[in-house]
Structure formats: structure tokens, C-alpha cells
Copies of this chain bind each other. A is one copy, B any other.
Amino acid sequence: MKANGTKVAQKRILLVDDHPLLRQGIAQLINQQADLMVCGEADDAQKAVTAIETTKPDLVVLDISLKGSSGIELLKNVKVRFPQLSILMLSMHDETVFAQRALRAGASGYIMKQESTDKILGALRKVINGEVYVSDRLGARMLTQLVGGKVMAPSSPIEELSDRELEVFSLIGQGHGTRPIAEKLHLSVKTVESHRAHIKEKLHLNSAAELVHHAIQWVQSESIG
């Protein structure tokens, strides 16, 4: 069966990531498999939607940090338009902050770029078969949360932030002011101010200076650690 070359019905995978090197790496990994193939690539949100419509993939591998809008936003949009489509989120960021909100937004799995190619292949196959993939560590943690009745003590109050709030928080940490953030996200300045206020409440911060300070620290710890 396996030896039958391309006659086996291969699962079609669309790659969405703005790092050409990484796309090349995962594309090679996938195309080496008899049962998988890359049907297309995209490096931003618009191209991703177009590519889904034209290539009809069985699975989308989606980077959580795209240029322009965040991967989570794209994930939500795609899920609205193509509810049946399976999506595996790929990220270099800490799973404790991003994985659960990715799953809540409709992803079928979350895996970090730091994982071995074996594990990534395993995640791909699991998601294609309709299952949900998360790391063992995160899976255990989520079980504990369920059994524990309510929500576990969040390891960081940053997990309390909503998706939009986290997006704003991240942009603040990258050094952007309120106005540029509003423009980038196509929102009213008033809305961004509102998000900032909520972030300050949730993180128990008292001033704009403190907010910027913590945001920059967090962005830095995310990128270096």
C-alpha cells in the first residue's frame, strides 16, 4: 500500500508562517512523508484566506505571530468561514500563555517550534485524524484544572488577559503608543484606551508608566527566555 507512490490519498497541508526558512523546513519534513503533502504556503493573513479557498487543504499549520495581525485573529476569522477545517497552531512562545486561548479560538492543536521533528509530525497526524494535540505537560495541566473544579492558579496574571488585551499589551511592550496601536488594529483610540485600562486592572498596575514597564519586560522575557 505504502509502496504505491503518490496513488495513496495524501492529506493536503497549507503552511502559514512569515519565516521562509521555517516554511522550507516544515515543507521538507511533510513532503518526505508518504501520506502528507504541502498544498500551499502563505506569509500573511490575506494570502492565507485566499490559499485556503483555492487549495482546499485538509489541515492548516498556522504561526501564532504573523506580521500585521496576530495569528489568533486569523484563526478566528478562518474558523468562521471554514468551520470544518483543522488548524494546528505553531508558535515559539510559551504554551502556558497562548495554547489555551488558541484552543478556545478553535485550533485543534498547539505545538512549539522548539519541539523535535518527530513530535511535530506526531502532532500533524493527530490533528489530521480529528484528535486534539497538546504537549504532555500542558495536557496534564488542563486535566488538573478540570478535576480541580475551577481554574487553577494562573502561573502569571497575564493569562487573565483576553486575546485582544494581550495583543495590545504586546504592542505596548514593543514600544508603540496608543495612537499607533489603534491604527495598526483598525480600532478607535478610545477602544485601545479601554483595553489599557482593563489590562491595568488585571495586572494590578497603577499608572501608564508601570504598564509600559511591565509590557516591555514581558515582551523581552518572551523573546529571549
* Interchain CB contact under 8 A, B210 and A175: yes
Given contacts A92-B92, A212-B209, contact A22 B20 (CB under 8 A): no
A33 part of interface (Cβ distance < 8 Å): no
* Interchain CB contact under 8 A, A116 and B175: no
Name the interface size band of chain A. Answer: 35 or more
Copies assembled: 2
Binds B, one of A23-31, A79-87, A135-143: A23-31
Smallest Cβ distance from A211 to chain B, in angstroms?
9
A21 part of interface (Cβ distance < 8 Å): yes
A202 part of interface (Cβ distance < 8 Å): no
User: Could you mark each residue 54-76 of chain A with 1 if its beta carbon is under 8 Å from any beta carbon of chain B, else 0?
Assistant: 00000000000101001000000
A116: which of B20, B29, B209 is its contact (CB, 8 Å)?
Answer: B20
